[in-house]
Each structure stands twice: as structure tokens, then as C-alpha cells.
Amino acid sequence: MNVQAWCMSWWTRLKSRRGILAVGLVIVVFGVIPEIAIWRVQSLIELRQHPQAQRMLSLANMLSVRRGEVHFQMARIKRRQRDFERMREHLLVAESAGWPVNLLHREQWLALAQTAQYDAMQTHWQELFTHAGSDGPEICKAYVLGAMKRFRIGDARRVLAAWKSDFPQDANAHAVAGWIHGVQMEWSDAQTEYQLALDLDPSDTKSRRGLAEALMQRMLFTKAMEEWLTILKMDVTNIDARVGCGECFLRLGDSNSARKELLAAIEQDPMQVRGLLLAGQLELAVGNAEPSVAWLERVVAVRPEDAELRYTYGRALRAAGQLDAAREHLQYRLVAQEHLSRLVQLLKKIPFEPMNADLRADVAELTFQWKSHHEGRQWFLTALDVDPHHQRSLEFLAAHESEFRERLNIKNEMHSDQSYSLRSDDPQ
């Protein structure tokens, strides 16, 4: 064989090998890698490692022909992240790509559960619990919150126990348990559960706030202060933590530090109701009647129905020598006492008659008139949860809708009023 012939033969073989390599590379890039990515995504979702799963899905989306599965798995992640609009978009793409309808329906049921649409879920709970898989935490949380809304506390506790047992690393189970104990005013148990949640997830601000509030209820203000300060280290703009610090200082007798924290909170949010109330109580306690009246006047403008608030305001007016003005507010609270006592008795009945819409509406009316319009409205909505056609609740909400909007406008106007002095000249 001459040199020219040998060179031609060698070149032909080389091109053939290159072709084979190219074909192999295409198979690896567009066949093997996407399959590995999708398999890995499924594993990561089961392990609830959603950021890693999203990165793998991005790779699979560029290379895989399995468009339906890619968008279905992305919909699952978005649902767990409570991004329901994006979830819907991905489900529509998965449906158009021919993904099984029963799996699409299951995602829709889970979304209904997570968005508290419990009436629509009644026939689907058994199916979801039977095939919970890694969606167990979302299913359990939705069921527990739904049960609590109907005051089925026993059912809530049973599912919660299973949730903690099946998913021992899920901090959210302990956070929800802490909330339930708080609702029951079992503050020691609430403290324990919130601490367990934080042991699993120290970044959970809501659990840390729950722990701080439980500690305050137990009069452990120094420990509560530590939790509020930890929240502020994570987010210096957290106004609830700022007010919490102010209240702890107030209860510990440090009026100067309390005033500093409360004024900072009010400066950040001029309609921080809790901050305004505490500022008023602080000034009243140290004998500064005029500043106390000024702070409490702002709260009463937004919450004139609150009998206890009106009583505090009346005391401040009396201390400031405004006896005629004080009399009106003190008398209001005197009249309210009988109604508030009845409210306490009705609230005690709710756990024993959780599906009694009339009872809930009675609670709603008394709460609305003598305690909080917002809370009263929420109670009427819970009456509609158990009876969507409850006439008294529907009529009341319709009649007061304009008032709710007006109340919101008042708050917005006071937010924008920058002429009010936030700083006290009193050195105390």
C-alpha cells in the first residue's frame, strides 16, 4: 500500500470514529444526562431538598424531551413553596404535554388543602393521607389547621403526633404544635415545642417569635428579650421584635430603654397599635399623663370599640385633669363589662359546639361591639366556614363592608401623617 492510499484509509477510519463519538455524545447529552437529572429530581423532591431539585430541573428542561414530567415536578416544588400561580402555569404545561390527569388532580387537591379550602377537600383527605409520600408535612399541616378552625382539637393533636413521628426532622410540626399550645394557653408546652422547632431550624423567625411570646406569658422577660434581640440581629427592621423588646424593658422596670425601643418602633410604623398602647401605658405608669393621652388617643381613633383600651385612655385623661372627657371612656368600659363576661362564657362553649354557626355569630357580635372589629369580622367568617349560607353572618358582613374599608383608610391616613412628634422631651 502506498503512502497516499494509507493516508486515505486512515482518514476514513478517523471520520467514522468521530461520527460514532459524535453520535455517542448526542445520546449522552440528550438521552442519558436528562434521564439522570429527572431521576435525581425525583429523589431530591422526596428528600424535600427543593433548591437542589430546581437546579436539576433547569438542566433537564434544556435537554429532556420529557416536557410533561419536567413541568409536573416543577409544579410540585412551586406548590410546596406556596407559589400557587407558578404552580398553575406548570400544571397547564404538563397537562398539554399529556401528563396523567390523576396526578394533576392530586396536585390540585393538595393546593386546595394548603390554601385552607377545606370544604372542597372533604372527600379527598383519605386519598391524600393514604398516598401521602413526601407531601405528608403539607397534608398534615393543612388538616391540623382545618381541624383547629373547627375546634376539633383532638383530631388536630392526633394528626400532629403522627406528623412529628413520621417526619422527625420537620421543624414546622413543632412550630404548629407550639401554636396549638398557645391557643390553649399551655405556655410551658408552647415554649418546649417552639424550642424544638428552633433546634431543627434556627432561622425560623416565626417560631422564635412564638417562643418569645410564650416566655413573656410565663413572665420570663429576660429570656424573652434574648429571643427578640436574636430576631433583630437577623432582621433589624422587624417591628414586632422591636415592640417586644420595648415591652420586656417595660415589664422589667427599665422605662428609659422601653421608651427608646417603643419610639423607634412607632417611628418605623406610626400605626403600630401595640407599640402605641405600650407607649401610653409606660407614660401613664411613670406619671407623664399628657404624653400618655397623646399616644392612647391615636389608638382609640382606630379601635374605639375596645373597652379595655378605652378604660386605659380614660385613666390617662383623668390623670391629665380632663375629667369630663375621662368620664365618657370609663363609663363605656363599665357598660362593656357585662357583655365581655358573656363573651367569655360563649367562648368556653365553642369547643363543645364547634359546628354551631349561631354560637360563632354570637361571639362575633360581642367581639365586634366591645373588643375588636377586625376580630369580630374574623369570627363571622368562621361562622360561614361551618355554614356558608348563615344568614346573620352574611347580612352583618355585607352591612359593615364599607366600615371596614373606612377603617383601613383611617389607618392609611395616620400612617402618612408626618406632622406628629414621635419624640418625647421628657428625659425620663
Domain assignment present for 113: yes
Q: What is the pLDDT of residues 282-327, one digit of tens each?
A: 999 999 999 999 999 999 999 999 999 999 999 999 999 999 999 9
Residue 27 exposed, middle or buried by CB count within 10 Å (0-12, 13-18, 19+): exposed
Helix ranges (H only) for 98-220 are: 101-114, 125-130, 136-149, 153-166, 171-183, 187-200, 205-217
296 C-beta neighbours (distance < 10 Å), count? 26
Q: Which three cell numbers stand for residue 173?
A: 410540626
pLDDT the model gives residue 385: 83
pLDDT the model gives residue 404: 57
How many CA atoms within 13 Å lie on the side-chain side of 359?
16
The parts of the chain modelled with pLDDT lower than 50 are 6-7, 10-11, 14, 19-32, 407-428
Q: Which three cell numbers stand for residue 394?
A: 352574611
CA angle 22, 24, 25 (to 5 degrees): 65
Domain assignment present for 76: yes
State how many domains the chain has: 1
Q: What is the pLDDT of residues 238-256, one digit of tens each?
A: 999 999 999 999 999 999 9
Cα distances from 334 to residues 119, 289, 311, in angstroms, run 41, 22, 9
**Residue 79: which domain range?**
44-131
Domain assignment present for 79: yes
CA angle 277, 282, 283 (to 5 degrees): 105
Domain assignment present for 59: yes
Q: 257 with 241: CB under 8 angstroms?
A: no
pLDDT the model gives residue 30: 39
Is the torsion defined by CA of 305, 309, 313, 319 positive or negative? positive
How distant is the alpha carbon of residue 224 from its chain centre? 21
Domain assignment present for 107: yes
pLDDT the model gives residue 399: 87
Please spell the DSSP secondary structure of 244-257, one letter per residue.
HHHHHHHHTT-HHH
Domain assignment present for 61: yes
- Rg (the chain; Cα; Å): 30
Domain assignment present for 63: yes
Q: What is the pLDDT of residues 320-370, one digit of tens each?
A: 999 999 999 999 999 999 999 999 999 989 888 888 999 999 999 999 999
Domain assignment present for 360: no
Name the amino acid, one letter, at 106: R
